[in-house]
Chains A and B, each alone.
Chain A
Amino acid sequence: MRNKEILLVVSLLTLIGSAIFGYRVFVLDFPLTPNKQVESWHVEMKATLGGPSGSLRLEAFLPRRDSFHTLVDENFVSNDFGLTTQKDPETGNRVVSWSKRNASTQEILFYRGILYETHSANSSAARTAPVITVPQYKTAEFNALRKERVDYLGLGSLIDEIQDKSIDQRSFALELFSFIDANPADNRLEQIQEMNPNLTSLAATEVFILHHVGIYARVVNGLPLKQAKRHASFEARTEILLDNKWVQYNKQTRSLGENRDFLRWWVGNVPFYTVTGQHNATLNIAVKKHTENALTEAMWRGDPTREAMYKLSIFNLPVDVQLVFSILLLVPLGAIVVCVMRQVIGIETFGTFMPILVALSFRETKLLLGVILFCLIVSLGLIFRSYLNRLQLLIIPRLSAIMIMVVLALYLFSMIAYNTNIYTGLSISLFPLVILTMLIERISLSWEEFGAQTALKAAAGSLFVAIVSYLVMNNDLLSHLMVTFPELLLIAVAMTILIGRYNGYKLMEYYRFRMMTQPTDSAPKD
Chain B
Amino acid sequence: MFSGFHRLKDMGIMGINSRNLDFIAPHNRRQYYRLVDDKVITKKTAIEAGIPVPELFATIEYQEQLKRLGDILAQRSCNQFVIKPAKGSGGGGIMVIKGRTAAGYLRANGQVITLPEIQYHISNILGGLYALGGARDVAIIEQCIENIDLFDKLAFQGVPDIRLVIYKNTPVMAMLRLPTLASGGRANLHSGGIGVGLSMDQGMTTNAILHNQYITHHGDTDAPLLGHIMPDWDQVLDIGVKAAHMAKLGYVGVDIVLDKHHGPMLLEINARPGISIQIANRQGLKARISSMGL
Question: Which A residues are within 8 Å of any B CB, using their own CB?
Answer: 343, 346, 392, 394-396, 445, 449-451, 454, 501-507, 509-510, 512-517, 520, 523-526
Contacts and interface: CB of A to CB of B under 8 A. Distances in A.
A505 B17 CA distance: 7
The 5 A-B pairs at the shortest CB distance, nearest first, are namely: A395-B127, A392-B120, A505-B15, A503-B18, A503-B21
B191 A516 contact: no
Contact of A504 (B18, B116, B190, B279): B18
A504 B17 contact: yes
B192 A451 contact: yes
Given A343-B17, A450-B191, A395 B123 contact: yes
Given A395-B124, A450-B192, A524-B215, A515 B209 contact: yes
Contact of B13 (A454, A503, A516): A516
17 contacts: A343-B17, A395-B127, A449-B91, A450-B192, A503-B22, A504-B5, A504-B18, A505-B18, A509-B15, A509-B16, A510-B4, A513-B278, A515-B209, A516-B13, A516-B284, A524-B215, A524-B216
Given A449-B93, A515-B212, A524-B214, A506 B15 contact: yes
A411 to B, nearest CB: 27
B16 A445 contact: no
Contacts of B207: 523
A447 to B, nearest CB: 12
A517 B7 contact: yes
Contacts of A394: 63, 123, 127
B278 A516 contact: yes
Contacts of A513: 8, 13, 212, 278-279
A9 to B, nearest CB: 16
Contacts of A450: 190-192
A520 B128 CA distance: 44
Nearest to B17: A503
B294 interface: no
Contacts of B63: 394
B142 to A, nearest CB: 19
Given A449-B93, A505-B5, A505-B9, 18 more contacts: A392-B116, A394-B123, A395-B129, A445-B129, A445-B130, A449-B191, A450-B190, A503-B18, A504-B5, A505-B8, A505-B17, A506-B15, A506-B17, A510-B1, A512-B212, A513-B279, A516-B279, A526-B216
- Chain B: interface secondary structure? mixed
B51 interface: no
A345 to B, nearest CB: 12
Nearest to B23: A503
B219 interface: no
B72 interface: no
- Chain A: interface secondary structure? helix
A510 B213 CA distance: 14
B8 A509 contact: yes
B273 to A, nearest CB: 16
Interface in B9-55: 9, 11, 13, 15-18, 20-22
B13 to A, nearest CB: 6
B152 interface: no
A515 B209 CA distance: 10
A395 B214 contact: no
Interface in B254-279: 276, 278-279
Contacts of B222: none
A373 B281 CA distance: 45
Contacts of A506: 15-17
A523 B213 CA distance: 9
Interface in B232-289: 276, 278-279, 282, 284
B81 to A, nearest CB: 19
B99 interface: no
Given A510-B8, A513-B278, A523 B224 contact: no
Nearest to B206: A526
Contacts of A515: 209, 212-214, 279
B269 to A, nearest CB: 22
A346 B19 CA distance: 14
Contacts of A512: 212, 276, 279
A292 B49 CA distance: 75
Contacts of B13: 505, 509, 513, 516
A514 B65 CA distance: 49
Contacts of B8: 505, 509-510, 513, 517
A445 B216 CA distance: 31
A327 B133 CA distance: 27
Given A509-B16, A512-B212, A517 B11 contact: yes
A513 B285 CA distance: 13
Contacts of B20: 503
Contacts of A395: 123-124, 127-129
B213 A504 contact: no
Nearest to B209: A515
B227 interface: yes
B220 interface: no
B148 interface: no
Nearest to B21: A503
Contacts of B129: 395, 445
Contacts of B78: none
B69 interface: no
A502 B16 CA distance: 10
B184 to A, nearest CB: 8
